[in-house]
Structure 1
């Protein structure tokens, strides 16, 4: 776009006039936003303006800063993903370290609209705004809200800088990226959005990152509502000792050769950095038994960004959270078979079952599970996948979420709890054949974004009601601290309408949460 056209576009956007017909290829003259003083023309589709912008930039392992330049970013397309530790499982064909972007879906002409900012999942190490299902156009149009999908640095680039980096003592670059993104959204969309109605939402570790914000001082006031979907509440954040052990293994890996100064590591080929990190990631079970099997690299607590372990703080000292639960309503959901997505076609024998379970619950917890009639485990050659799915779904998701809800309600918070008894198959689950016929982890993403009609529209309408009012629609009652964990107060979302119970006095008591064991 020429300088003169940029000037005219900026004036038009500020004065809410029609945009001059000299925008970039693919852009629509009917939609644009002003981002850090620069007019950016998006792509119009069905009354929704989709615009991808760069909210920050950072050198490798350095803190991100807000930027004005949008050079190199296509405002009308999905952005390149942040580098992935296990290939690129998203729709984006490319990746780049210059990946701190926000993809915005906004109704044309809307003013003072509620905002919904979404954090993708992916075990803190994969995923992007280009992932399947994260097109916010349907939701923005159906509810006249602004939907924003934030990208943030992943894996070793976002969580484990080398010891010689200036960020080594507070390695939570990923979390600080999100905080910067939220601040930039509030600053730049204030003319179009209602900054008193900002909801932050996420699925899986996207939801876990919202949990990290519970104790992040810099997150104060950035949102008024939260939607946490299939957050593995069983897992907490990492202690610095765990992060340091991973750091040592990564930066002493042969893939990085003799690079040991910060300048040399910043200049090292990305493939070498990811190769070293990937090798450590895959061997995490042997190198760091305290790390969760599915997400060995995770944010670090005991730092200025995350001073305390957030789940432990809610359970033991809710007054120590950055904001009072009474001030931020929460919508909290799981799916019927959250634990089923870890299996391929291979059956699970008793030895594998026992070894993996020991990592999740510790030796004492393992003995409780093996000897209790609650899950009826037999030491034989029968396939243990059904039992493991039930145990993992209960222990990492369903029962953990209900206990979190009890604590949130007990601290004066308004919380709504639901379980997806129906879902829409998520494309990434094609690699997990055991998910067939089940409501698997990630099968809630399409409905959340109103993709699929029928059931999806019902879910979207409930979510939109919460985004606008702090309460879902359809007579969904708030969860109470007195509900316990037996299923009372939990909304069945579609399907058979049945909400399973959780065993009393079991999870978090007889069998400790992972965060209790290793915090």
Structure 2
């Protein structure tokens, strides 16, 4: 009835189809919305909500109360799901503030993780933060960007540094939802055979969003997933979940460490066996498992994380707790080790120019050149290392004073094999099987706080892992002109992508879609395309196998 009424009134202000004769004066444009907003029956639907109505939304789950974020958007926090320890989550049926809070300005507690005071986390942590631009009306049918945080699946939250989605929501005229999910052993080492609980949490969040998002002016069919690092890895896992395909229509993967691949069930069972041995509980002893303190679960989960590579080299050194290729939820490896499925969703796939900078320069003092080969061998094994060391693109890089620090070579190798080249390989496979992908590399960034202690990451022209986050969100403190320009550009591109699946829009350089033979990696913050370098398909992925190939995950 409302839609019919709207159409009837809109017709009153529609331009006539009869061409008017040329006149010596112009007729001023009349915005029909201004007239429609004066009509009480339509005002609620076609006009942006103001005051109390804007901060108290009626949803299918109950009244959502919020506040106006200091940066301008309306902010709503909510508990999207419920879950018992080591059980799959279920969608919340009522709108409730997280953690039993009564103050709508309170932000949710994080999921249990190392490095936080226990007062700052809770196992009851399936929460999200919604940022709604004030421009939306209930009939806006705006897109929603769902941000999945990174942190190697052991740390992170919806309230991490730089993740205030207010500026991003306003710039893209979209709803931004920042979600959190179970981490560490609670999300990825369930002793009772419940794999992928963290992945299932994000699915639960998407189901909740599809129900409530129209109450904020969003469209349940215009949801884009976006995330960085492990968050992007989570999204890639969801791309391999057929049952989740209808929950989102496009995805943005920033700095996904695709070299690892999903973890195999054999490796996963090895890690779980070690965990249950450490906590002295069998997988079927629910009483023992439920009696464990959260602190014990965190600590023993991190012990597994630290020793996983020794327990099974296929786990990898840096992100051993990750989505499991279980064959039931996640049904495809989405790589060359199995049949790649037919796909259709559009993707943005980006990396930064110095992904491995924090790990290499933060983990080692200056290294003589003769350390390059043995460190490669410790990482890749002798056969793969010999090929890497012989690659001319990884030859010594003399500094201005003529000295050689092997960290420069190791940084480039790490960036290529963990992120850059493996991401380009994935893009080629994606477009070869029906999807569309746009590939980019950030050469301008904003040093993320976790990189402040790595002097290398503060050097001019260096963009380390995580340094793209505050650019995208527009949350860089005291940005330079280059950072501001790139933030504006990326938000324009994201606005276009959220609406159409294409990041091209007026006023920015053309971003050419990847093909099966040329990924056309645009330089973000520069001009032109990134050089191919060692990302030639004949080298990484062929001459030197990625870890997911080498360990036959």
Which TM-score bucket, shorter chain as reference?
A: 0.7 to 0.9
In the other structure, the counterpart of 1:32 is 56
Alignment of structure 1 residues 110-121 onto 2, 5 Å? 110=137, 111-121=140-150
Alignment of structure 1 residues 224-373 onto 2, 5 Å? 224-253=249-278, 256=280, 261-312=285-336, 317-318=339-340, 320=341, 324-325=342-343, 327-342=344-359, 343-344=361-362, 346-348=365-367, 353-354=372-373, 357-358=376-377, 360-373=379-392
User: What is the TM-score with the length of structure 1 in the denominator?
Assistant: 0.85
Alignment of structure 1 residues 89-238 onto 2, 5 Å? 94-108=120-134, 109-110=136-137, 111-162=140-191, 165=192, 168=193, 170-191=194-215, 192-238=217-263
Secondary structure of the corresponding residue to residue 541 of structure 2 = coil
In the other structure, the counterpart of 2:547 is 514
Contact 2:431 2:514 in 1 (8 A): yes
In the other structure, the counterpart of 1:409 is 431
Moved more, 432-441 or 220-229: 432-441
Correspondent of 1:77 among 97, 106, 125: 106
Secondary structure of the corresponding residue to residue 317 of structure 1 = coil
Q: What is the count of residue pairs matched by the alignment?
A: 479
Contact 1:421 1:498 in 2 (8 A): no
Moved more, 203-212 or 336-345: 336-345
Alpha carbons of 1:351 and 1:278: their partners in 2 closer, same or farther (altered >3 Å)? Answer: farther
In the other structure, the counterpart of 2:466 is 442
Secondary structure of the corresponding residue to residue 428 of structure 1 = helix
Gaps of 5+ in 1: 1-13, 22-27
In the other structure, the counterpart of 2:10 is none
Deviations 1:377-421 (A, max 9, x none): 69xx95321111100111111122222222222223221111101
In the other structure, the counterpart of 1:5 is none
CA RMSD of aligned residues (A): 2.8
Alpha carbons of 1:237 and 1:464: their partners in 2 closer, same or farther (altered >3 Å)? Answer: same
Contact 2:369 2:396 in 1 (8 A): no
Larger Rg: 2
Alpha-carbon distance in 2 for matches of 1:208, 1:471: 21
TM-aligned CA deviation for residue 356 of structure 1? 5.2
Contact 2:439 2:513 in 1 (8 A): yes
TM-aligned CA deviation for residue 19 of structure 1? 9.7
TM-aligned CA deviation for residue 431 of structure 1? 3.4
Instruction: Say whether 1:53 aligns with 2:53.
Output: no
In the other structure, the counterpart of 1:476 is 510
Alpha carbons of 1:105 and 1:484: their partners in 2 closer, same or farther (altered >3 Å)? Answer: same
TM-aligned CA deviation for residue 247 of structure 1? 0.8
Alpha-carbon distance in 1 for matches of 2:232, 2:425: 16
Alpha-carbon distance in 1 for matches of 2:268, 2:143: 37
Contact 1:198 1:225 in 2 (8 A): yes
Contact 1:121 1:205 in 2 (8 A): yes
Alpha carbons of 1:185 and 1:69: their partners in 2 closer, same or farther (altered >3 Å)? Answer: closer
Secondary structure of the corresponding residue to residue 405 of structure 1 = helix
Alpha carbons of 1:355 and 1:66: their partners in 2 closer, same or farther (altered >3 Å)? Answer: farther
Moved more, 441-450 or 407-416: 407-416
Contact 1:293 1:359 in 2 (8 A): no
Alpha carbons of 1:39 and 1:259: their partners in 2 closer, same or farther (altered >3 Å)? Answer: same
Alpha carbons of 1:174 and 1:359: their partners in 2 closer, same or farther (altered >3 Å)? Answer: farther
TM-aligned CA deviation for residue 144 of structure 1? 1.3
Alignment of structure 1 residues 375-394 onto 2, 5 Å? 375-376=394-395, 383-394=405-416
Moved more, 403-412 or 357-366: 357-366
Correspondent of 1:491 among 522, 525, 535: 522
Deviations 1:244-264 (A, max 9, x none): 1111111111x5579972122
Gaps of 5+ in 2: 1-42, 398-402, 477-483
In the other structure, the counterpart of 1:62 is 87
Moved more, 451-460 or 382-391: 451-460
Alpha carbons of 1:260 and 1:432: their partners in 2 closer, same or farther (altered >3 Å)? Answer: farther
